Every structure is written in C-alpha cells, then in structure tokens.
C-alpha cells in the first residue's frame, strides 16, 4: 500500500539533526496545532513551556531566531521556516519550527569570551603598574581594572605585616564593583588573624596554597568573615617573591551557587606571580628612598644609594622585557599551533557539528591572537621599539589598495565607501605599511559603528601636509568621550555585539605621532564622526 505525502514527510523529519515540527496556524485567531514532529523534538521540548513560547511568538508575528534556556541548564536555538502545502486553506498557513541543542557551543563561546576578557584585564593592569612610579599608588586602579574584566564582585590585596609573634595584614587595596557590597572588615587589618579564628587560612597561605572556600564549607570560627562581608565565595591567593611570603590577593563573590571553575581557578593563580614582582619592586624602591633621605649627607653612601637605584630601574626594565618575551612565546606560539592545526584537521562533510566546533576553535584562537598582537604592538610603540621603513609613493594609490582590503567588510554590512582622491597628485615619503594599518583601523571602526548606507573617504593636500579623512554617519561621540577616545582599552557605544579590545585608536595615534603627524577627531551626537589623519610630506 503506497504511503501518503504526510507519512513520507514524517519519515524524512526523523533524519534531521534538529528537533523539527510542522505547525498549522489559523491566520485569524493565531491558534496553532502540531501537524508533524520528529522524536528528537519530543525529547528536546521537555524543561520549558513550549506552548507559551510559541503562542507569544505567533501572536506577535515574531519568527526570528531565539535562544531558549531550559531549567536543567540546556540551551536551545529555535527558528522558523516557511512551509508550503499544496491547495492549503486561505485561512491557514503552515510553518516549520525547529529547536537545536547548542549547549556545548554556547558554553565554549562563553569560556573563550571569559579568557579573552581576563587576558585584557591582566594586560591593562600590568600596563598601569608599569607606568606608575609608585606601585602602592597605582595598585588600587590596576586591580580594579582587573576586577572589571572578571566575574568576581570585589578584590583586595593584604600586605603581610608581622608584628612580633602576631600575624597581621595591612589593607593596600579594597575595591568592589558596586557600593551595595560591603568593604573588607577592619578586623582583617587591625587584629591578629590567629585571634580572629583564621589560623587555618594563614597556615595554608604561607605554604603557598590557594584557598577556595564557600560559606557553607567554612568552619564555625570562620563564618563571621562571610557574615560581615555578605560573601558566598572566597578566593585567597598567596603572593610571593623568591619564596618569600609578601601578602594575599583576594576575591569575593556575592551571588550564591556560582562556583569558580577549576580551570579558571588556575588562571587566577597566575596573577599572583606578577603581583609578587611588582610588590617587591615597590618595597625595594621604598627602602632605597629611605636610604636616600637618611644618608644624603654622606657622599659614599649617596653613591651607594644611586647604585641601588640604578639596579632597581634595571630590574624593573628586565621585568617588563621578560613579561613581553613571556607573553609573546607562551601565548602566541601555542595559539599559532592551535590555529594552524585547526585548519589542518580534516572532518567529514557529514559531521556538521564537528566542523562547526572546529570553526569556533579557529575563530576564537584568531581573535585572541589578534588581541595579544595589539597589546604587544602598543607596548612596542610606547617603548619606542617601532621601526620606520621609508618609501616614496602616491597616497591615492595607497588609499585604493586599502579600499580593496576593507571592501569585503563593507560589503558584508551592505555599505558603500565613497573615495575622493586628491586633486593634486604628489609623492609622499613615509612608511606606507604603518599608514595603511592606521587607515584600516579607521575604516573598520566607521563600518562597525555606523548603520548608514555609506561612509566618506577623502584624501587631499594642504600645502606640504597630507590629510586623509574617514567620515561616518553613525551615532557620533560626545565631547566628554572625545577626550578619552584615544586612551587604551576605551570602547564607546559598546552593546557587547561589536568585536574589539579598545586598542585600535590608541595604536593608530601612536603610529601617526611616530610618523610625524597625528589624528584629529570632530564629532557631534547624532551626526557621525570625522577622523582626520594628518601627515607631513617628509618625516623630519
């Protein structure tokens, strides 16, 4: 007996990788019913109110993709598709509704995003400390910057200050994301930790062990700490330098049932290594200043003091150099391997999920590598290590080459780049590679932050100076934000959907200054922004 068309369709749905169903919708009442559904759909629908979800979508004629978070932690992706039935009723329409389990994909993206944010926080904190003459003064700002890029709610640093037989700590940093959270109790600074009932913590920290503790697992004599801080989770990391215990870096979380993942815990522990280096440097500099103030009258000891100062400066410079070398080798080398092998791995075309996950590895690794390269590039600019390679060329030719490189990004957003070459064709002697890097950044920003149909790209000569401008018609930038737009790690109009680290404009301005020019910005809210790169005809 031959099968009817609906039976054949139902059999075909069983081969789908998604939970698939066919809905019949009454155009007048917006009521719906399931005509067909495969077994995977029946399995995935448990754990959330499917009927309420579909009723709301259909009543609002909202057929866009949407994520569904089930009570068991599973994450589903839902989408609709038009479905045509021959000789269908005029009052009815049919649609295909699919749900797909993307929990693993979503978790992987969240982990990659977390690591990217943490690395940015670490790099930003270290940059602040390197630039500060006094670690004690710059540490609160640096650690708050680190806290901002983590899921923690507060951060503190306790300097170890033993007095005779007592174990005491001095609070150097006590920062929090919101004032609704209490600060660290004063008892932590003014009292002996043994008398406070925290002897177990002291023993572990001095043995270079990290303390990861929740309120419910704390001992009775330790619960007062959680009661006063209102914290649910505590993370204490010992800070050492050459096996000498210097203090404690701590984090608090206030939201219950949000444990720290073991792999993330290891990443937090790495922060204490550079903390020990900077704290010891500050202690050494403090000691040197004490010698300078008390022995200034003696020439011999003054000479010794200058020698010690020189050693400390060299030590600080070596620390920065070692950090750059470590960052370059330990992060870029394995990342290049990951990216390279992800392109070499061969997965059958039938394994779409495997190909999708492999692409996540490749794109995530590429983003992280680009971020690291930007940070290293910024540090090279600030340390004066950028080399200029002079060539003579026509700027309009370079602008056209840059347009070819950026055009795919503009096409993807459906935007037009209107280029206006200079009326006078002259040669420019400069570093074409550095100029192109600046222009690519300015054009990329204009495309990302503008929703209009086009942007303007102009090039003209003003006497012996060249001006290349990139104008967009996006939301514009306020006067207050214009004062900090070229600062490192600054991102404006950030809704979380635009990729970037906030380093591009800072790097571009640094390169422009190195080439003897600068970047100017004019902007008004609601009328877009105009970035102008101004360069001399010859670098002096």
- Residue that wins the pLDDT comparison between 60 and 306: 60
One CATH from 3.30.420.40, 3.10.20.30, 3.40.50.300, 3.30.565.10 for 391-536? 3.30.565.10
Q: How many angstroms separate the CA atoms of 266 and 270, rounded?
A: 7
The pLDDT mean for the chain works out to 79
In the chain, where are the structural domains located? 5-101, 107-294, 391-536
In this structure, CATH architecture of domain 107-294 = 2-Layer Sandwich (3.30)
Q: How many angstroms separate the CA atoms of 391 and 404, rounded?
A: 21
Contacts of 157 (CB under 8 A, 6+ apart): 139, 143, 171, 172, 173, 239, 247, 248, 249, 250, 275
pLDDT of residue 1: 36
**In this structure, are residues 102 and 77 in contact, taking their beta carbons and an 8 Å threshold?**
yes
Instruction: List the alpha helices (DSSP H) in 132-261.
Output: 135-148, 187-190, 199-206, 223-229
CATH 3.30.450.20 is right for the domain spanning 5-101: yes
Provide the token pair at 289.
């200043």
**Among residues 362, 360, 372, which one has the least CA distance to residue 337?**
362
pLDDT of residue 287: 61
Domains 107-294 and 391-536 share a fold: no
The yes-or-no verdict on residue 223 having pLDDT over 60 is: yes
Three-point CA angle 43, 44, 49, nearest 5°: 115
pLDDT of residue 4: 56
The yes-or-no verdict on residue 55 having pLDDT over 80 is: yes
> What are the residues facing 239 on neighbouring strands?
247
φ/ψ (deg, to 5) at 241: -145, 120
The yes-or-no verdict on residue 201 having pLDDT over 90 is: yes
490-527: pLDDT as tens digits: 555 555 455 555 667 878 888 888 888 888 888 888 88
CA dist 423 to 396, 456, 460, Å?
A: 10, 16, 7
């Amino acid at each position: 007996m031959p099968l009817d068309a609906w039976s054949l369709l139902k059999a075909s749905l069983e081969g789908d990788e998604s939970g698939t169903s066919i809905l019949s919708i009454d155009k007048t009442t917006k009521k719906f019913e399931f005509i067909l559904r495969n077994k995977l759909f029946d399995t995935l629908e448990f754990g959330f109110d499917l009927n309420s979800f579909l009723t709301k979508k259909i009543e609002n004629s909202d057929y866009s993709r949407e994520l569904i978070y089930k009570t068991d932690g599973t994450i589903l992706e839902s989408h609709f598709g038009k479905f045509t039935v021959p000789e269908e009723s005029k009052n009815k329409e049919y649609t295909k509704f699919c749900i797909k389990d993307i929990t693993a994909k979503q978790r992987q993206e969240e982990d990659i995003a977390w690591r990217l944010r943490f690395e940015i926080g670490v790099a930003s904190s270290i940059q602040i400390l390197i630039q500060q003459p006094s670690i004690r003064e710059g540490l609160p700002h640096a650690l708050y910057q680190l806290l901002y890029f983590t899921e923690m709610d507060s951060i503190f640093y306790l300097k170890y200050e033993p007095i005779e037989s007592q174990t005491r700590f001095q609070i150097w940093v006590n920062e929090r994301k919101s004032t609704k959270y209490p600060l660290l109790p004063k008892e932590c600074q003014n009292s002996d930790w043994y008398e406070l009932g925290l002897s177990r913590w002291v023993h572990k920290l001095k043995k270079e062990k990290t303390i990861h503790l929740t309120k419910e697992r704390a001992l009775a004599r330790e619960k007062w700490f959680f009661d006063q801080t209102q914290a649910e989770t505590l993370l204490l990391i010992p800070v050492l330098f050459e096996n000498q215990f210097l203090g404690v870096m701590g984090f608090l979380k206030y939201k219950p049932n949000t444990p720290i993942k073991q792999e993330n815990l290891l990443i937090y522990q790495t922060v204490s290594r550079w903390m020990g280096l900077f704290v010891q440097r500050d202690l050494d500099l403090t000691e040197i200043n004490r010698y300078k103030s008390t022995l200034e009258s003696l020439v011999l000891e003054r000479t010794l003091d200058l020698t010690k100062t020189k050693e400390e400066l060299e030590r600080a410079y070596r620390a920065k150099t070692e950090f750059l070398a470590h960052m370059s080798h330990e992060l870029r080398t394995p990342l290049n391997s990951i990216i390279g092998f992800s392109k070499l791995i061969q997965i059958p075309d039938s394994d779409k999920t495997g190909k999708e996950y492999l692409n996540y590895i490749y794109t995530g690794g590429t983003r992280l590598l680009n971020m690291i390269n930007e940070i290293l590039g910024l540090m090279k600019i600030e340390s004066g290590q950028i080399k200029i390679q002079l060539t003579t060329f026509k700027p309009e030719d370079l602008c056209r080459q840059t347009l070819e490189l950026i055009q795919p990004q503009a096409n993807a957003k459906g935007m037009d780049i209107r280029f206006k070459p200079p009326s006078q064709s002259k040669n420019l002697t400069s570093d074409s590679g550095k100029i192109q890097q600046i222009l690519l950044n300015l054009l990329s920003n204009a495309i990302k932050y503008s929703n209009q149909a086009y942007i303007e790209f102009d090039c003209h000569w003003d006497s012996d100076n060249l001006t290349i401008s990139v104008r967009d018609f996006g939301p514009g930038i306020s006067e207050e934000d214009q004062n900090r737009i070229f600062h490192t790690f600054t991102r404006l109009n950030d809704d979380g959907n635009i990729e970037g680290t906030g380093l591009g404009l800072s790097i571009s301005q640094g390169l422009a200054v190195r080439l003897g020019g600068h970047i100017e910005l004019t902007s008004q809210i609601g009328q877009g922004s105009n970035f102008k790169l101004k360069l001399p005809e010859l670098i002096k």
